[in-house]
């Protein structure tokens, strides 16, 4: 048997409260988070972030000191909205922002961070500085 998907509908009071919060600029749940996997591979820290539905130009990755920040933001295409003659029943995908920051050790070479985005997964490769790689020292 397949699992059922249940959608909880808002009461008129919930809708009024949400709209009043939006009107007065008090949208506390506007910024959301996203799942990530972080692991080390070949002297590189790899971060894989799940960002489905975003385009490459809607994703910003920045580093400042020892903090890496991923921001993803998109809004509904205005031209589509203006030319749309259909009556909308539910529209939940107009504006969406996701953000997450990570503190990483000073051993990461921030000038050589690589970013690749494919099929909703952002992959960041943060190479470690050469001076922090373990090396074997010969004992004489």
The pTM assigned to this predicted structure is 0.63
Supply the pLDDT for residue 136: 75
With respect to residue 115, please indicate whether it lies within any of the assigned structural domains.
yes
Does 67 fall in a domain?
yes
The sheet that has 59-64: what strands, in order across it? 31-32, 95-103, 67-75, 59-64
CATH, residue 116: 2.60.40.790
| pLDDT at site 58 | 92
> What's the total number of domains in the chain?
1
Token duo for residue 30? 């506007």
Across the 140 residues of the chain, what is the mean pLDDT of every consecutive 10-residue run?
A: 46 72 60 84 91 90 88 70 65 74 83 92 90 72
pLDDT confidence of residue 118: 94
Looking at residue 1, its pLDDT comes to: 39
d(CA 138, CA 86): 75
Domain assignment present for 9: no
């Amino acid at each position: 048997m397949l699992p059922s998907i249940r959608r909880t509908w808002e009461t008129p009071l919930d809708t009024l409260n949400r709209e009043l919060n939006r009107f007065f600029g008090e949208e506390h749940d506007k910024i959301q988070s996203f799942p990530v996997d972080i692991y080390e591979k070949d002297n590189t820290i790899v971060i894989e972030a799940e960002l489905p539905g975003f385009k490459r130009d809607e994703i910003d990755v920045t580093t400042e000191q020892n903090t890496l920040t991923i921001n993803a933001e998109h809004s509904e295409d205005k031209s589509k909205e203006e030319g749309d003659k259909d009556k909308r029943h539910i529209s939940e995908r107009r504006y969406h922002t996701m953000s997450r920051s990570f503190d990483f050790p000073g051993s990461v070479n921030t000038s050589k961070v690589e970013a690749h985005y494919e099929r909703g997964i952002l992959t960041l490769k943060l190479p470690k500085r050469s001076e922090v790689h373990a090396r074997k020292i010969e004992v004489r």
